[in-house]
Structure 1
Amino acid sequence: MSHPPPSGGEENGGSEPDYRFTLANERTFLAWIRTALALIAGAVAVLHLVPLEWNTSLQLTLGLALAGLAVVITAYAPLRWLRVQRAMRMDRPLPTSPLPLITAVGVALVCVVVIAGNYWP
């Protein structure tokens, strides 16, 4: 009898995790993708839609920072999903992720740029 390939890219055994945990892992992945989409929307708004009376280089810096943060999240989210799925399959502790810290620091820096943009001529 043929068994379907293991989920999460794990091909060396392990056991199928409870589907609720697999679905929670997928929802977390999708939340990171939604975060990246929101950051891209913010970048587009700053670069093209919002009539800011800021220094052009400051506006460009903010837009590119938002877009760059979105790229980092989009690139790392599937890797995180795979690592968590693999850990669940192998009944190991879930790996830690730098993604929340990267996102928090990135958003904090964007906030600093926004505040600075309102006070710099």
Structure 2
Amino acid sequence: MGSDDDDADARRPGNRWVSAVRAWWRRPADIGQVGQDPDVRFSLANERTFLAWLRTSLALLAGGVAVVQVVPDFSFSGARHILGVPLILLSIAVAATSYRRWALVEKAMRERRSLPVSGLPRVLAAGVAALSLVALIFVLVAGKGPQ
């Protein structure tokens, strides 16, 4: 397909979404076509950071599932879901944005630009801090339910 066909496809309502997803999830081959190869150590460090984000996502997922399925009931009905579901949602956010972050950093390094700033650490820190505060309140106030 030529670029005119691609432009016409992108104008269709359903295809705008597809174009947006493609732009979000750049293929590594697309990234490798811009700029110059960075020092391999920087690319590997970027990859390790990506893998650390994935480990964080898996830990959040495991914590969310554990809170909902394993933690004993609090006297407050629904407390486990109030704690577990946001952990799982944070897990989804981290997993869904980690590849994009890797791609943006890799592209910036290839183009010899400053690395882009991410809002994800702030969201993650605020989310975990808020959930920790809620957990503290549940532990101190709600206590355990009947045994």
Residue 57 in 1 paired to residue 78 in 2?
A: yes
Match of 2:78, SS state, is helix
TM-score by length of 2: 0.73
Q: Which amino acid aligns with 2:135?
A: V
The CA RMSD over aligned residues, in Å, is 1.8
Where 1:56 maps in the other structure, the secondary structure is: coil
Task: Mark the runs of 5 or more structure 1 residues left unpaired by the alignment.
Answer: 1-5
Q: Which residue number corresponds to residue 3 of structure 1? A: none
1:12 Cα deviation after fit: 5.1
Distance 2:101 2:80 in 1: 31
Instruction: State the 1:52 CA deviation.
Output: 3.4
Give the equivalent residue in structure 1 for 2:6: none
**Cα deviations by residue, 1:1-22 (Å, 9 ceiling, x for unpaired):** xxxxx95632653100111000
Describe the shift of the 1:66–1:78 C-alpha distance in structure 2 as closer, same or farther (beyond 3 A). Answer: same
The Cα of 1:56 is off from its aligned counterpart by: 2.8
Residue by residue over 1:68-115, the C-alpha shift from the partner in whole angstroms, topping out at 9 and shown as x without a partner, is 000000011111000000000111000001111111001001101101
Aligned equivalent of 1:95: 116
Identity %: 42
- The letter for the 2-side match of 1:79 is R
Change (3 A) 1:108 1:12: same
> 8 Å contact 1:8–1:82 — kept in the other structure?
no
Q: How many residues are treated as equivalent by the alignment?
A: 116
Whole-angstrom CA distance in 2 between matches of 1:80 and 1:92:
15
Q: Give structure 2 stretches of 5+ with no counterpart.
A: 1-26
- Deviating above 2 A after TM superposition, structure 1's stretches of 4 or more consecutive aligned residues are 6-13
User: If the length of structure 1 is used for normalisation, what is the TM-score?
Assistant: 0.88
- Choose which of 68, 80, 85 in structure 1 pairs with 2:89: 68
**1:86 is aligned to 2:110:** no
Contact 1:43 1:66 in 2 (8 A): yes
Structure 1 or 2, whichever has the larger Rg, is 2
Deviation at 1:27, TM superposition (A): 0.3
